[in-house]
A and B are shown apart, each in its own frame.
Chain A
Amino acid sequence: DTGVSQDPRHKITKRGQNVTFRCDPISEHNRLYWYRQTLGQGPEFLTYFQNEAQLEKSRLLSDRFSAERPKGSFSTLEIQRTEQGDSAMYLCASTPQGRSPLHFGNGTRLTVT
């Protein structure tokens, strides 16, 4: 169990640029989640996958955000045309099937200038 891995740890980008983050879940965890956390707040649900199927997306997730999990293993989260309001910590978590808690990665901190 090597834990959930996220890359990069930090990303600074200029407004209007596209960014992509990667998450490698714990192997054999078939559920993968993306959350966003802003300063002083708890994690806010964005989307989740069961294997390669994206089962739910938050209504808060604009069309500029897209996530994929093409082979049911790692996942990517892309933000197009970034805005300053996108600055946040993006957290990935995974869990095996069934009644299990989330296991989080250390997150990717995005700063949009």
Chain B
Amino acid sequence: GDSVTQMEGPVTLSEEAFLTINCTYTATGYPSLFWYVQYPGEGLQLLLKATKADDKGSNKGFEATYRKETTSFHLEKGSVQVSDSAVYFCALSGDNFNKFYFGSGTKLNVKP
């Protein structure tokens, strides 16, 4: 069945460092891919999305490119801030957007 695998955390970086969080997926058909962010005590918020191969989603300095050939959707940011400290979830939805599957989350800690 459809599934998402993302790198385990926690990831600890200094402010202004480059961030990569790896995400790979298994799916039939043509899934859409998402990154969600969860701040402490809050629900998940959509960070960015891509709905077809080679699409690049971007928001708040974060980017991810839908790579069908490598079944990947890695999250990147050129310069992280302390306020980016949160848990990041990679997710996919199948063709009909009926079901959504989430990875186990990667906790990011950014130190001043």
Q: Residues of A at under 8 Å CB distance from B?
A: 4, 33, 35, 40-45, 48, 55-56, 91, 93, 95, 98-107
Contact = CB atoms under 8 A, between A and B. Distances in A.
A55 B98 contact: yes
A104 B103 CA distance: 16
B99 A56 contact: yes
Given A40-B105, A41-B104, A41-B105, A104 B99 contact: no
Interface stretch (B11-19, B37-45, B65-73, B77-85): B37-45
A102 B47 CA distance: 11
Most-contacted residue by chain B among A45, A95, A99 (CB, 10 A)? A99
The 10 closest A-B pairs by CB, nearest first: A42-B102, A104-B43, A106-B43, A104-B44, A43-B102, A42-B104, A101-B46, A99-B97, A42-B105, A105-B43
B89 A42 contact: yes
Interface of B: 4, 32, 34, 36, 41-46, 49, 51, 89, 91, 93, 97-105
Given A45-B100, A104-B44, 20 more contacts: A4-B43, A40-B104, A42-B4, A42-B102, A42-B104, A43-B89, A44-B102, A45-B101, A56-B99, A95-B97, A99-B51, A100-B97, A101-B34, A102-B44, A102-B46, A103-B46, A104-B36, A104-B43, A105-B43, A106-B41
Interface residue SS majority, chain B: strand
Nearest to B100: A102
Nearest to A109: B41
Most-contacted residue by chain B among A35, A40, A102 (CB, 10 A)? A102
Contact of A33 (B51, B89, B100, B105): B100
A33 B34 CA distance: 17
A24 B104 CA distance: 26
Given A42-B89, A42-B105, A101-B34, A91 B44 contact: yes
Contact of B103 (A4, A42, A101): A42
Contacts of A105: 43
B11 to A, nearest CB: 14
22 contacts: A40-B105, A42-B89, A42-B102, A42-B103, A44-B102, A45-B99, A45-B100, A45-B101, A48-B98, A56-B99, A93-B44, A99-B32, A99-B51, A99-B97, A101-B34, A101-B49, A102-B44, A102-B46, A103-B46, A105-B43, A106-B41, A106-B42
